[in-house]
Copies of this chain bind each other. A is one copy, B any other.
């Protein structure tokens, strides 16, 4: 397993195409009546952070504030997220996952990963390790 020299200009389209297709495939595999990938990602971030303002959540999710307004609105409709006014700053809002939100999250955590996890399980240990390292690098690139 020697590292091959990879010109960035050549890797860029390869990586882009691979991720575009992979992403389409993953997004399609959502249970009926379930949350979308975007909504799940936001709810998960909220769960991890405990409580956030819309702006903070938008930053974490790499999305513009108005987009986050919409995402949160959908989550709120279902009672998965709660808006409470900021104690001292009247402009701000505090978002938090409700008990129902956490329950739904836990409940679907397994289901939503089922397709991907089963595919991953079919890979070799080494391939999974490659993906794990790639995931870290991609997060870092997304942050740049």
Q: Given contacts A25-B141, A117-B9, A142-B25, are A132 and B20 in contact (CB under 8 A)? A: no
A110 contacts the other chain (Cβ, under 8 Å)?
yes
A8–B141 alpha-carbon span in the complex (Å): 23
* In-complex Cβ contact of A3 among B14, B26, B129 (8 A): B129
A92 contacts the other chain (Cβ, under 8 Å)?
no
List chain B residues, Cβ under 8 A from A139: 17-18, 21-22
A12 contacts the other chain (Cβ, under 8 Å)?
yes
A63 contacts the other chain (Cβ, under 8 Å)?
yes
> Is there contact, CB below 8 Å, between A4 and B132?
yes
Shortest CB distance A129–B (Å): 4
A129–B19 alpha-carbon span in the complex (Å): 16
- Size category of the binding interface on chain A: 35 or more
* In-complex Cβ contact of A116 among B16, B134, B135 (8 A): B16
* Proximity bits, A115-144, B CB within 8 Å = 1, else 0: 011111101011111111111111101101
List chain B residues, Cβ under 8 A from A131: 6, 11, 15, 134, 137-138
A138–B37 alpha-carbon span in the complex (Å): 18
With A20-B37, A130-B130 known, 9 other A-B pairs at CB within 8 A are A3-B126, A4-B129, A8-B128, A11-B120, A11-B135, A16-B116, A17-B41, A21-B61, A127-B137
